[in-house]
Amino acid sequence: MAAHPVLWPLSRLAHRGGAVVRVPGVGVIVNDALIAHDVLTRDDAFRKQGPGGIAEIMTQAFGPSALANMDGDPHRTLRKRLGPLASAEQAEQWLAASRAPLDGAVQQLASGEVVDVARMARALSGRLTLTLMGVAPTDGATNDADALAVHALGERIASALRISRLPARQLERVRADLDQLLAFAQDAFASQSLPPTSLVARLRAMGCDADETRGILSIFFVAGALTLGVALPRLVALLVDSGQLALVHADPALAVRAVDEGLRYTCPVPLTVRLAAHGGALGGVSVRAGERVVVLTSNLARDPQLFTDPSRFDITRRHDPRARYLWYGAGPHFCLGFTLAQRALQEAVALLAAQVPTLRIVKREASRGVLLPAWRTLLVTRT
Ligand code: HEM
């Protein structure tokens, strides 16, 4: 509600309309998990590019090679080249290089201090971005100023993204922010001693050209590190509010299910958009060629076909295999950072549950005017 005071109630209303609903001025809304899966996997019939989609704005801001704004063969070819970036080994390396804010926060909590988990997650996300760029923070391991500055830039860029073309003034601002973000990487680009595990070095080794490098870095910042930064505090707040962190303490294997259920419940990326390549029907609703199809992930994740009593947050719930991590998308555009995000969130939950299983929230404040719903402040301490 704080992030999208108009869109959120409208999406809840659309949910009551059935599996697929046409909303004048918006397009065809998909609330049904199985139909949504079909839309996302049939990328020949439901495309990213075209007027009224989010790809248009991404291309304006990030250039043509930002993955999430590509279709068909060019997209598949680039994804295939980037395949090694999605490996578990790569995720471990990036996480190990960025996790200092998480470890520091858990230590502080263990010694009885109050910690802002939202700030910690922003610092973690910012450090991840710096790691991807191959930049060592100039301010050492303990000061998060660079990481927070990088995260704030990413947040501003993401918040400008909407489903209509950006006016020239706003586009200029987004490009300037992006240039500022990429400037952090400038030395790294030029350096002969670029850490070989950084994304920039990997892209260079894969022979990516300047357009591809800019596009891929941009989408990694905006769809990637930023998403992780908003997801973690929401997950922690849910676990604390529901008292279920103690369940993970009693059975550490539950950390994995806690993350899956937390992401189902919060859906950090609440929707995704496609454009119908040709006319047809979806769930009994006709769809015109070129029409916008909005996959409302936050509704799919509460689809009673797949989740009994979907409004209950229950980390012991076994997810229906047909859900297939729908909150990370599906098909050719399925989240490229899936392994990294899962590892980072599972590690955070496991650490908190092991070391400080009884937490209480001292103060919370939601972010306003942001694309991805988030906690601005989440002060937590040990009970
Ligand atoms: C909890 C955390 C995350 C969630 C919920 C999430 C969710 C998503 C979703 C729903 C999509 C697909 C959007 C669509 O189909 O239009 C996506 C795509 C993507 N994600 Fe993630 N993401 C997360 C973390 C990350 C991380 C940590 C990275 C990398 C650092 C990342 C990188 C990407 C990229 C590059 C794409 C574009 C893939 C393509 O279009 O081919 N994501 N993500």
pLDDT, one tens digit per residue, over 347-356 is 999 999 999 9
Average pLDDT on 327-342 reads: 96
Count of CB atoms situated within 10 Å of the CB of 113: 12
Answer whether residue 85 shows pLDDT above 90. Answer: no
Kindly state if the Cβ of 215 falls inside 6 Å of ligand 1. no
Q: Using alpha carbons, list the distances in angstroms from residue 73 to 183, 213, 225.
A: 31, 18, 26
Q: Assess whether pLDDT exceeds 80 at residue 305.
A: yes
Backbone angles phi, psi at 322, to 5 degrees: -70, -15
What number is the average pLDDT over the span 53-59? 86
Of 96-110, 140-154, 246-260, 263-277, the one with minimum mean pLDDT is 140-154
- The mean pLDDT value for 264-272 works out to 94
Protein residue whose Cα sits closest to atom 11 of ligand 1:
335
Q: pLDDT at residue 217 above 90? A: no
Confidence of residue 136 (pLDDT cuts 50, 70, 90): low
Determine which residue's CA is closest to atom 18 belonging to ligand 1: 335
Residue closest by Cα to atom 8 of ligand 1: 328
Give CA–CA dist 273/28, Å, rounded: 10
* The pLDDT of residue 171 is above 60: yes
The CA-CA-CA angle for residues 30, 218, 33, to 5°, reads 15
What pLDDT shows up at residue 290? 94
**Which of 36-40, 73-77, 121-125, 182-186 has the least mean pLDDT?**
182-186
Is 137 contained in some domain?
yes
* CB distance 295 to ligand 1 below 6 Å: no
Burial (CB < 10 A; 0-12, 13-18, 19+), residue 37, is buried
Give the Å distance between the CA of 256 and the centre of ligand 1.
19
Residue 188: pLDDT band with limits 50, 70, 90? low
Model confidence band, residue 142 (pLDDT cutoffs 50, 70, 90): low
| Predicted pLDDT at 141 | 55
Candidate of 67, 335, 342 to mutate for ligand 1, largest count of ligand atoms within 8 Å of Cβ: 335
**What residues have CB less than 8 Å from 13, skipping those under 6 apart?**
none
In this structure, what CATH number is given to the domain that contains residue 342? 1.10.630.10
pLDDT of 169 higher than 60: yes
Domain tally, the chain: 1
322 falls within a domain: yes
Which pLDDT value is given to residue 189? Answer: 65
pLDDT the model gives residue 113: 98
15 in a domain, yes or no?
no
| pLDDT reading at 209 higher than 70 | yes
3-class DSSP string for 214-228: HHHHHHHHHHHHHHH
112 Rama class: left (phi>0) / alpha (psi -120 to 50) / beta: left
Centroid of ligand 1 to alpha carbon of 224 (angstroms): 6
**Residue with CA nearest ligand 1 atom 43:** 335
Look at residue 145 and tell me whether its pLDDT is greater than 60. Answer: yes
Rounded-to-integer distance, Cα 217 and Cα 205, Å: 15
Q: Would you say the C-alpha torsion 176, 181, 186, 187 has a positive or negative sign?
A: positive
Burial degree of 86 (CB within 10 A; 0-12, 13-18, 19+)? middle
91 lines ligand 1 (CB under 6 A): no
Please check whether residue 20 lies inside any domain of the structure: no
Phi (first) and psi of residue 292, to 5 degrees: -75, 130
| Residue at 341 is within a domain | yes
Q: Is residue 10 part of a domain?
A: no
Q: Is the CB of 121 under 6 A from ligand 1?
A: no
Going by CA atoms, what residue is nearest to atom 12 of ligand 1? 329
Q: For atom 13 of ligand 1, which residue has the closest CA?
A: 329
In the reported structure, the alpha carbon of residue 68 is separated from the centroid of ligand 1 by a whole-number distance in angstroms of 9
In short, whether 65's Cβ falls inside 6 Å of ligand 1 is no
Range of the domain at 330: 25-382
Distance (Å) from CA 324 to ligand 1 centroid: 14
Residue 3 belongs to some domain of the structure: no
Predicted pLDDT at 111: 97
Q: State residue 114's pLDDT score.
A: 98
Give residue for tokens 């955070």.
348
Whether 105 is in a domain gets the answer yes
More confident residue, 61 or 345: 345
Ligand 1 centre and the CA of 365: distance in Å?
A: 25
Q: What is the mean predicted confidence (pLDDT) over 139-160?
A: 79
What does pTM read for this prediction?
0.94
Q: Report the chain's terminal Cα–Cα distance, integer Å.
A: 29
CB distance 227 to ligand 1 below 6 Å: yes
The CA–CA distances, whole Å, from 366 to 11, 234, 259, 301, 324 equal 19, 10, 21, 22, 29
> Do residues 119 and 374 touch, judged by C-beta distance below 8 A?
no
Burial class, 285, CB count within 10 angstroms (exposed 0-12 / middle 13-18 / buried 19+): middle
User: Does residue 198 contact residue 132 with C-beta atoms inside 8 Å?
Assistant: yes
The predicted structure's pLDDT at residue 187: 67
Residue 138 clears pLDDT 60, i.e. is over it: no
Taking CA atoms only, the protein residue closest to ligand 1 atom 40 is 68
User: Does the Cβ of 271 fall within 6 Å of ligand 1?
Assistant: no
Q: Is 164's pLDDT higher than 80?
A: no
